Chains A and B, each alone.
Chain A
Amino acid sequence: MGWRLALRPYVLIVPALLLTCGILYPFGLGLYYTLFDFSASKPQPDMVRFENYETVFTQEAFWNSAWVTVLYAVGAAAVETLLGVAVALLLHRSTIVGRVLEKILILPLMIAPVIAAIIWKLMLQPSVGVINYLLRPFGLGGVQWTDTPTGALLSSIAVDVWVYTPFVAILALAGLRSLPTSPFEAAAVDGAGWWYTFRRLTLPMLWPYVLVAVIFRFMDSLKVFDIIYALTEGGPGDSTVVLQIRAYLEAIRFQRYSFGISYTIVLWAVVYLAAMVLVKHLGKIQRKAAEVAAK
């Protein structure tokens, strides 16, 4: 009887465990494949040890992709954070306008990123797209949005920003609403100004919530795929080939499976490292926020 009691949680968790193993298996298999030169043209692969990784790191294409990926992730996360926090602060004033708009804040976030990219692709079309039409009165008619390297990257970031700013705003708003009121009351009694209150109280206490959002956004944009695939397919040239797109091209287009997976494994390592650093930073920020709140 005793052992049956001890076993109960395991019985409950076994199905999930099995399913997890079902997902883990391809992961392991993928890792294993990277040690071979498995491709559609070579279905009986040979062991090549770490040659795939060596090739990855010596390829100029990899460093280009890594650079584009970092630019994309940093750019998207930064703009989303600033814009998201700003929107949250504006909504937190809860004016009538704000309360109405808050109900539809979530909409872009619920649209599949790939669909969002399609929508923007139609709008950014240089000759017939509505954006250039609207810009024409300002003398900016013929912008080649997705047809120049910089324009393509900026356009992709813009789509990311359009989809995910609500995510940051929602978390920041939840954070703003859960801040303790007593420090603000104390500051008001002391006659502190708006800017002082914002910098010394709101921001430090809100920062942990924002950072959680930033971590999620940064991680996710490092492995961006849908938006770029639909908007630019990596073009023009190689200018928006982020790492997952490169992996896709290698593994699926050129059917060099082992080599393609090696790319994703390297990306995984980068994401993991970035997560570690950011989470550590998060701990520090949380302690600081607790100090401010306790004052």
Chain B
Amino acid sequence: MSRTTSKKRLLGWLADAALILYFVFALFPIAWMVILSLKPANQLFSTYFSFSPTLDGYRTVLGDSEGIPFVRFFVNSLVVSLGAVALSLLVGLPAAYASARWRFKGSENLMFTLLSFRFAPELTVIIPLFVLYQKLGLFDTYVGMVWVLQLVTLPLIVWIMRSYFADLTPELEQAALLDGYTRKQAFFKVAIPLVKPGIAAVSLLAFIFAWNNFVFPLILTSNEAQTVTVGALSFLGGDRPKYNLTAAAALVSVVPPLLLALTIQRYLVRGLSFGAVKS
């Protein structure tokens, strides 16, 4: 008896050890970036773990002193990601509600068209847009970016919000109608407050995906509307690699998604598994 328990305990330790090993693999790169970003330029290639830490890397990156306007990229990322999420919510919430509440022609078609965007190679749409945007003057603009990011945010918001609305019994809105409220009031006073957690979770998830997007800004922007994901890469260019600056830029650009991820971790997990399992 005691032999099996001690064997069990040993296995338990081994399992925990394996888990820790995976998390070392998962977290070490992030930790290493922090280390790298704090290194002074002259110790970049001569040291690994012991060096004299400095914030110079961050000062250079955020001070735009390498000719790379990183702060502007950061603001651009904020603007286009927020804009894309806002537009998707504005347009997607009514659509999600309608397709959850009424079965009607075209609704399923729209839903599956949206879903198929998820599996289309981005370049199929970007290359024509690259040509089109040049003609329309949308190349390297916020409007152009917000438009194309709908490809990322709209399907996510519509699909997840649809299942949230579908889980909400229609009798609540019916009760509101009989209480004397109009359909619009029933939607805003009953349905919306009840799916608020869903809206919050899906908006943040959509924001993160929009923020993390790389192909769209890579091809459809050049300088004015460029975002951090493309911007961070430009520190790797040049004759002498500035690894500490690259690391600092990379870290700065992952701060918003990581902060969101850590604070609302549970909702995100729910949103992720929800979206994937339901579709």
Contacts and interface: CB of A to CB of B under 8 A. Distances in A.
A13 B147 contact: no
A109 B120 CA distance: 21
Given A23-B151, A171-B276, A112 B102 contact: no
B19 A264 contact: no
Given A9-B102, A118-B236, A225-B122, A104 B29 contact: no
B29 A275 contact: no
Nearest to A21: B113
A122 B235 CA distance: 12
B45 A216 contact: no
A106 interface: yes
Nearest to B154: A19
Interface string B90-118: 11101101110110101100100110110
B208 A15 contact: no
Contacts, number: 259
Contacts of B269: 106, 170, 174
A225 B229 contact: no
Given A33-B128, A112-B212, A121 B236 contact: yes
B124 A13 contact: no
B65 to A, nearest CB: 20
Contact of A112 (B94, B130, B257): B257
A225 B48 contact: no
A247 interface: yes
Contacts of A123: 29, 32
Of B212, B257, B258, B260, most buried by chain A (CB within 10 Å of CB) is B212
Contact size range, A:
35 or more
A280 interface: no
Interface stretch (B51-59, B193-201, B242-250): B242-250
A30 B253 contact: no
B214 A106 contact: no
Nearest to A169: B22
Contacts of B128: 26-27, 29-30, 33, 257, 261
B18 to A, nearest CB: 6
A143 interface: no
Interface stretch (A58-66, A91-99, A149-157): A91-99
A48 interface: no
B121 A110 contact: no
A119 B250 contact: yes
B229 A112 contact: yes
A111 B258 contact: yes
Given A9-B102, A13-B98, A107 B30 contact: yes
A106 B265 CA distance: 8
Nearest to B131: A257
A13 B23 contact: no
Interface in B236-279: 236, 243, 246-247, 250, 253-254, 257-258, 260-262, 265, 268-269, 272-273, 276-277
A26 B132 contact: yes
B202 interface: no
Interface stretch (A70-78, A183-191, A266-274): A266-274
Contacts of B104: 9-10
Given A13-B95, A111-B257, A162-B26, A271 B19 contact: no
Contacts of B16: 90, 95, 97-98
Interface string A226-261: 100110000000000001100110011000010011
A10 B98 CA distance: 8
A22 interface: yes
Interface of A: 8-10, 12-13, 15-17, 19-20, 22-24, 26-27, 29-30, 33, 38, 83, 86-87, 90-91, 93, 95, 97-98, 101, 103-116, 118-123, 125, 128, 130, 133, 162, 165-167, 170-171, 174, 209, 212-213, 216, 219, 223, 225-226, 229-230, 243-244, 247-248, 251-252, 257, 260-261, 263-265, 267-268, 271-272, 275
Give the 7 A-B residue pairs with the shortest CB-CB distance, closest first: A16-B95, A112-B212, A12-B98, A12-B94, A110-B261, A174-B273, A30-B128
Interface of B: 12, 15-16, 18-20, 22-23, 25-27, 29-30, 32-33, 36, 44-45, 48, 87, 90-92, 94-95, 97-99, 101-102, 104, 106-107, 110, 113-114, 116-117, 119-125, 127-132, 147-148, 150-151, 154, 158, 183, 208, 211-215, 218-219, 229-230, 232-233, 236, 243, 246-247, 250, 253-254, 257-258, 260-262, 265, 268-269, 272-273, 276-277
